């Protein structure tokens, strides 16, 4: 990083630790602003990365950038998210200690993008194999799924994460990612039933309505209009210019398949999402007695079918509550307000538990089947930052409590890291005074008398508990605490800015007023359970004790999850990424100083800098320091032969460092003041100029010698076609030598590389002999190294090339992708099917879609290739077996679709006709079929249409046309119409 210090007047300092006036917030802000204006969005505070969202694309995330940061010392290159990623990865590999990258910041600061960049870096730079590629795909594709179900459009961010996420990436002993696990916490469930004006519900609702096929919407009982659903109209923002819900739906559907969801599970998941929309449309009427009753029976029918529950039971659960008193169960009717709350509580619980189920399902797909030897982990924590709104609710209380805990952890870890480094280097550690926010954390989480415990008691006790009684109990229990006050307890000045239903907490980052309206309902909510792979839901109120155990509120559940998270983080070596939003308008280049100063405060950056600068501003290994500055001392220039520590000691004494300015540790030099380092950098710049001048004299003296050699060279060029003689021998020897040296530097690296330098006339014959010998040796060496698996892969690729090259539009996209052994493992194929196959060895299996002969309805199927036949399977049934000997041929279009036809003999009574199938891996699938059936020459690639036998002498036709997106459907003329996007021009 020192290489850029000479430009510090233009772009500030790359590490805030090097700020001369490090205690000045104004100096901190000016450095941040100066770098932001130059599109330098990353700055360090020691090992902490501060990132400012640029709100525009910067060309700093290419593969070349990844390679630039790969395996490089943390401070050798400019600050970047890739540097943090690589540093954590190398620390994990070299120190064999689990790492964790913590990403914090408020909504719109760029946390989600930062975590994506880290995942992409590992996906590109880590070692790979077939299995690893699958894990990489699933890790990356888990993002669009989680964003669809956990992100929403808010006033501050069009793709705001409304849940906290911690992801473990598991690496094997070779450093390859082989598995992962996601922990989610504090989903903003209140968004399901209410959104502020200008905001939206979770993305998935709009994606489903805008993008789902008509048939799917019909099954779910939904209309293609978000305005029809009460849970989607609260924010009055159904459309967002930056979001394409229809396109995002396709991305999510594909991602669900990649991460391991089958069609039944997707259908089940969408049933639940649709049920939430139907729940929101349940309307109530009121009897004379005040009791509520449901007026929308149609919604109940949909819900009963979608949720798989009894309609009468559900109806009763939405209009009554159960109370257990002295062991006796009593039912009590709800009034209109209570019933609406019960409906909303159920909706939030359904969605919340569904999200948890979704994460668990993703975790199953990411889980490494066999515990790898010497496995290591890098954790990614994407968490909301401390925020203050005009109206702060229960969720905001939880978010800020989480940040309070993280601030406590950050300072402790920073202090520990500093202390450990000092002790390792033998430098005396001087205790640092800092604000310890343990008093605030205790106020929130202490047993029996903390805010969460008080909330629990009010939510779970019998009787008429309410938000106001909770506030009163808060005043009675912790009313005298220095960090809490209420309207009742406050002085006259504070009362003017506080509502009667608010309490104020003095956090480490400032004061926040929290409104208690709805806090008991939100903290308690509803409960749901899973059974027989179906997600069932039951509404209950706070008095129900289903299993005779004390139920937990949402606040306690979050407290437990947070404690677990803190335990995980403490077990790992941390890196920090602190994200900052430069303005609320999401405009590129706009630097809102007031807004950013708030975030600097909330993120605790000045406190972090103060702790880091309590001792020494700069520390580097002796070798790095000596290598950079050795030219400044005659005794260390041009090289130092002794011990590194002695060389550094000699160097700094020559530079005139005073004893109070530095310390020498066991392997590093510690410099206390930035000005000392800057003076050394200025001296280095001056030295570079003098070195440049001293090198120019020898160059001048060599000019005359060069002139003589040039004359000999020119004379040799004139006589170059003559026989060897004194006039041309120097030139000919030079040309031959140059060619051989050029050849040595530019020899082909692979057998596929046919390049070869053009030889001079005198070496044409020798050059050709060298080329043949070298290529023979390359081929021999390559064949010797090739393993059986790779040989089999090449053989398959050669067959695919013979069949599809320059004939099928999506063939080029398949070339760089390895063919897998099978697309279905043993667990995904029904045991009855395997039993039916008997001793037949299964060579390949892949999920396909079969289009039936009546109406071309799409049916999910499995295609199994055995030694003797192709078998089409529906769940536990063998629907059709086609012996390879009887297979007449295979037809496929020239476009990018995956539709193909297996032609069977019409006279074979066992066969009902030709089979029309579709595969997402068409090139791989047909190559496998061709090899297994020995039908390489029997694959017909058709232009325009395919005619096939439907059975009973009837023929069917498939028409193929180019279009913008893939679409397979029955046309009005009775044909099967396939539209496929054009990928390549032939």
Q: What does the pLDDT look like over 846-894, one tens digit per residue?
A: 999 999 887 899 999 999 999 999 999 998 899 999 999 999 999 999 9
- Mean pLDDT check: name the lowest of 371-385, 569-583, 815-829: 371-385
Quick one: pLDDT at residue 531? 31
Is a pLDDT exceeding 60 seen at residue 537?
Answer: no
Residues contacting residue 497 through CB under 8 Å, at least 6 positions apart: 513
- The domain defined by 616-693 folds into Alpha-Beta Plaits (3.30.70)
Quick one: pLDDT at residue 546? 33
Higher-scoring residue by pLDDT: 554, 443: 443
Coil, strand or helix at 722: coil
Quick one: pLDDT at residue 545? 27
Quick one: pLDDT at residue 4? 43
Segment 436-445, tens digit of pLDDT: 888 999 999 9
* Residue given tokens 């320059």 in the structure block: 806
Q: What is the DSSP string of 468-511?
A: HHHHHHHHHHHTT-TTEEETTTS-HHHHTTS-TTEEEEEETTEE
Could you give the percent of the chain with pLDDT greater than 90? 43
Quick one: pLDDT at residue 373? 61
**Quick one: DSSP state of residue 260?**
T
Query: CA 939, 940, 943, 945 torsion: positive or negative?
Result: negative
Q: Judge whether 977 is annotated as a binding position.
A: no
Segment 646-683, tens digit of pLDDT: 999 999 999 999 999 999 999 999 998 888 888 888 88
Residue length, the chain? Answer: 986
Give the containing element (helix H, strand E) for 900: strand 899-903
Segment 691-705, tens digit of pLDDT: 776 665 555 556 555
Q: Judge whether 108 is annotated as a binding position.
A: yes
Segment 146-181, tens digit of pLDDT: 999 999 998 888 988 888 888 888 898 888 888 889
Quick one: pLDDT at residue 540? 32
Q: Judge whether 109 is annotated as a binding position.
A: yes
Q: Judge whether 111 is annotated as a binding position.
A: yes
Q: Judge whether 110 is annotated as a binding position.
A: yes
Quick one: pLDDT at residue 891? 95
Rounded Cα distance, 235 and 158, in Å: 13
Question: Where exactly are the structural domains of the chain?
Answer: 1-110+578-615, 395-516, 616-693, 701-785, 791-981
Quick one: pLDDT at residue 322? 76
Segment 488-508, tens digit of pLDDT: 999 989 998 899 999 999 998
What tokens does 411 get? 């300072």
What tokens does 718 get? 């004139």
φ/ψ of 984, rounded to 5, equals -140, 145
Higher-scoring residue by pLDDT: 690, 547: 690
Rounded Cα distance, 733 and 113, in Å: 59
Q: Judge whether 164 is annotated as a binding position.
A: no
What is the CATH code for 791-981? 2.30.29.30
Quick one: pLDDT at residue 96? 82
Query: Model pTM?
Result: 0.64
Q: Distances in Å between the alpha carbon of 52 and those of 109, 110, 575, 591, 610?
A: 7, 8, 17, 10, 21
Rounded Cα distance, 767 and 765, in Å: 5
Is a pLDDT exceeding 70 seen at residue 142?
Answer: yes
Quick one: pLDDT at residue 369? 67
Q: Judge whether 105 is annotated as a binding position.
A: yes
Kindly indicate whether the domain formed by 395-516 is annotated with CATH number 1.20.120.1200: no
Q: Judge whether 404 is annotated as a binding position.
A: no
Query: What is the arithmetic mean of pLDDT over 298-313?
Result: 89
Quick one: pLDDT at residue 463? 66
Segment 948-965, tens digit of pLDDT: 988 777 889 999 999 888
pLDDT-derived band at 9 (thresholds 50, 70, 90) equals: very low
Residue 465 CB coordination number (10 Å): 18
Quick one: pLDDT at residue 542? 27
Coil, strand or helix at 527: strand
Crossing angle of the two packed helices 451-460 and 554-570, in degrees rounded to 10: 150
Q: Which of 827, 828, 806 is nearest to 815 (CA)?
A: 806
Q: Which residue pairs, CB below 8 angstroms and at least 24 apart, start in 476-482?
A: 477/449, 478/443, 478/449, 478/450, 478/451, 478/454, 481/443, 482/439, 482/506
| Residue 86 Ramachandran class (φ > 0 left, ψ -120 to 50 alpha, else beta) | alpha
Quick one: pLDDT at residue 541? 33
Q: Which residue pairs, CB below 8 angstroms and at least 24 apart, start in 525-533?
A: 525/189, 525/345, 525/348, 525/349, 525/352, 525/553, 525/554, 526/342, 526/345, 526/346, 526/348, 526/349, 526/350, 527/349, 527/551, 528/349, 528/350, 528/353, 530/353, 530/357, 533/268
Residues contacting residue 235 through CB under 8 Å, at least 6 positions apart: 195, 196, 197, 198, 199, 200, 201
What tokens does 49 get? 């990365």
Is a pLDDT exceeding 80 seen at residue 945?
Answer: yes
Is a pLDDT exceeding 60 seen at residue 985?
Answer: no
**Average pLDDT for the chain:** 86
CATH of 1-110+578-615, one of 3.40.50.300, 3.40.850.10, 3.30.1390.20, 2.40.170.20: 3.40.850.10
Query: What is the arithmetic mean of pLDDT over 910-928?
Result: 91
Coil, strand or helix at 864: strand
Residue 888 CB coordination number (10 Å): 15
Query: What is the arithmetic mean of pLDDT over 387-413?
Result: 84
- Mean pLDDT check: name the lowest of 24-28, 358-362, 465-469, 554-558: 554-558
Is a pLDDT exceeding 80 seen at residue 115?
Answer: yes
**Active-site residue numbers?**
107-108, 112, 157, 160-161, 385, 387
Higher-scoring residue by pLDDT: 542, 583: 583
């Amino acid at each position: 990083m020192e290489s850029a210090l000479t430009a510090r007047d233009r772009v500030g300092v790359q590490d805030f630790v090097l700020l001369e006036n490090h205690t000045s917030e104004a100096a901190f802000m000016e450095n941040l602003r100066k770098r932001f204006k130059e599109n330098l969005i990353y700055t360090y505070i020691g090992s902490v990365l501060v990132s400012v969202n640029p709100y525009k694309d910067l060309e700093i995330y290419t593969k070349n950038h990844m390679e630039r940061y790969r395996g490089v010392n943390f401070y050798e290159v400019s600050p970047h998210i890739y540097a943090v990623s690589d540093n954590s990865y190398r620390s994990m590999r070299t120190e064999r200690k689990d790492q964790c990258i913590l990403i914090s910041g408020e909504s719109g600061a760029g946390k989600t993008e930062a975590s994506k960049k880290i995942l992409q870096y590992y996906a590109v730079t880590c070692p790979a194999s077939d299995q690893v590629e699958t894990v990489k795909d699933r890790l990356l594709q888990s993002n669009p799924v989680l964003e669809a179900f956990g992100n929403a459009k808010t006033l501050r961010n069009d793709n705001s994460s409304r849940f906290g996420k911690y992801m473990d990436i598991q690496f094997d002993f070779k450093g390859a990612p082989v598995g992962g696990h996601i922990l989610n916490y504090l989903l903003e469930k209140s968004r399901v039933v209410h959104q502020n004006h200008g905001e939206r519900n979770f993305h998935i609702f709009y994606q489903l309505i805008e993008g789902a096929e008509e048939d799917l919407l019909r099954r779910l009982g939904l209309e293609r209009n978000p305005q029809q659903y009460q849970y989607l109209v609260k924010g009055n923002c159904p459309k967002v210019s930056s979001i394409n819900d229809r396109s995002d739906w396709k991305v999510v559907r594909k991602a669900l398949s990649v991460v391991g969801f089958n069609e039944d599970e997707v259908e089940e998941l969408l049933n639940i999402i649709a049920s939430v929309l139907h729940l929101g449309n349940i309307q109530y009427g009121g009897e004379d007695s005040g009791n509520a009753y449901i007026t929308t029976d149609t919604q109940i029918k949909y819900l009963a079918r979608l949720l798989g529950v009894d309609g009468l039971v559900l109806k009763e659960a939405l209009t009554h509550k159960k109370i257990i008193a002295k062991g006796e169960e009593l039912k009590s009717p709800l009034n209109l307000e209570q019933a609406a709350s019960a409906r909303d509580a159920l909706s939030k619980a359904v969605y919340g538990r569904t999200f948890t189920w979704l994460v668990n399902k993703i975790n199953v797909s990411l889980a490494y089947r066999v515990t790898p030897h010497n496995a290591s982990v890098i954790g990614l924590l994407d968490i909301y930052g401390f925020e203050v709104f005009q109206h702060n609710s229960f969720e905001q209380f939880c978010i800020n409590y989480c940040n309070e805990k993280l601030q406590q952890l950050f300072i402790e870890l920073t202090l520990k890291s500093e202390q450990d480094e000092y002790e390792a280097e033998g430098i005396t550690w001087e205790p640092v005074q800092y604000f310890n926010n343990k008093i605030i954390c205790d106020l929130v989480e202490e047993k029996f008398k903390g805010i969460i415990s008080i909330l629990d008691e009010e939510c779970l006790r019998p009787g008429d508990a309410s938000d106001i009684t909770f506030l009163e109990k808060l005043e009675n229990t912790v009313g005298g605490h220095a960090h809490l006050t209420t309207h009742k307890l406050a002085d006259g000045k504070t009362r003017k800015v506080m509502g009667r239903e608010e309490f104020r907490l003095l956090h480490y980052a400032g004061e926040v007023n929290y409104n208690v309206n709805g806090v008991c309902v939100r903290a308690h909510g509803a409960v749901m359970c899973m059974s027989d792979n179906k997600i069932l839901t039951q509404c209950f109120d706070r008095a129900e004790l289903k299993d005779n155990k004390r139920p937990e509120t949402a606040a306690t559940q979050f407290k437990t999850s947070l404690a677990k998270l803190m335990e995980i983080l403490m077990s790992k070596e941390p890196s920090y990424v602190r994200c900052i939003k430069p303005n609320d308008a999401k405009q590129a280049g706009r630097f809102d100083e007031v807004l950013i100063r708030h975030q600097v405060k909330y993120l605790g950056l000045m406190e972090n800098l103060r702790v880091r600068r309590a001792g020494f501003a700069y520390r580097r290994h002796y070798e790095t320091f000596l290598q950079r500055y050795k030219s400044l001392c005659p005794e260390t220039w041009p090289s130092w032969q002794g011990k590194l520590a002695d060389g550094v000691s000699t160097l700094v004494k020559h530079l005139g460092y005073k004893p109070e300015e530095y310390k020498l540790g066991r392997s590093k030099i510690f410099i206390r003041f930035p000005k000392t380092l800057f003076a050394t950098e200025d001296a280095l710049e001056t030295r570079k100029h003098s070195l440049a001048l001293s090198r120019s004299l020898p160059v001048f003296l060599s000019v005359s010698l060069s002139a003589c050699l040039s004359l000999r060279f020119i004379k040799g060029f004139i006589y170059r076609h003559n026989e060897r003689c004194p006039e041309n021998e120097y030139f000919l020897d030079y040309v031959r030598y140059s060619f051989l040296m050029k050849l040595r530097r530019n020899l082909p690296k692979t057998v596929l590389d046919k390049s070869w330098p053009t030889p001079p006339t005198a070496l044409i014959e020798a050059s050709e002999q060298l080329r043949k010998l070298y290529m023979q040796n390359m081929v021999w060496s390559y064949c010797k190294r090739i393993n059986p698996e790779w040989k089999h892969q090449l053989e398959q690729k050669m067959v695919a090339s013979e069949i599809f090259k320059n004939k099928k539009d999506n063939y080029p996209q398949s070339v760089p992708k390895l063919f897998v052994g099978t697309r279905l493992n043993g667990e995904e194929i029904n045991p009855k099917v395997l039993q039916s196959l008997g001793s037949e060895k299964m060579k390949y299996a892949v999920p396909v879609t079969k289009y039936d002969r009546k109406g071309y309805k799409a049916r999910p199927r499995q295609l199994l290739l055995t030694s003797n036949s192709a078998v089409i399977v529906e769940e536990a049934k063998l629907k059709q077996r086609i012996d390879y000997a009887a297979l007449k041929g295979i037809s496929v279009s020239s476009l990018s679709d995956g539709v193909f036809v297996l032609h069977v003999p019409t006279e074979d009574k066992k066969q009902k006709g030709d089979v029309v199938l579709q595969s997402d891996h068409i090139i791989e699938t047909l190559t496998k079929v061709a090899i297994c059936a020995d039908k390489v020459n029997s694959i017909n690639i058709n232009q325009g249409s395919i005619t096939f036998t439907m059975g009973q002498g009837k023929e069917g036709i498939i028409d193929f046309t180019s279009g913008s997106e893939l679409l397979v459907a029955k046309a009005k003329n009775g044909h099967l119409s396939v539209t496929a996007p054009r990928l390549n021009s032939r």
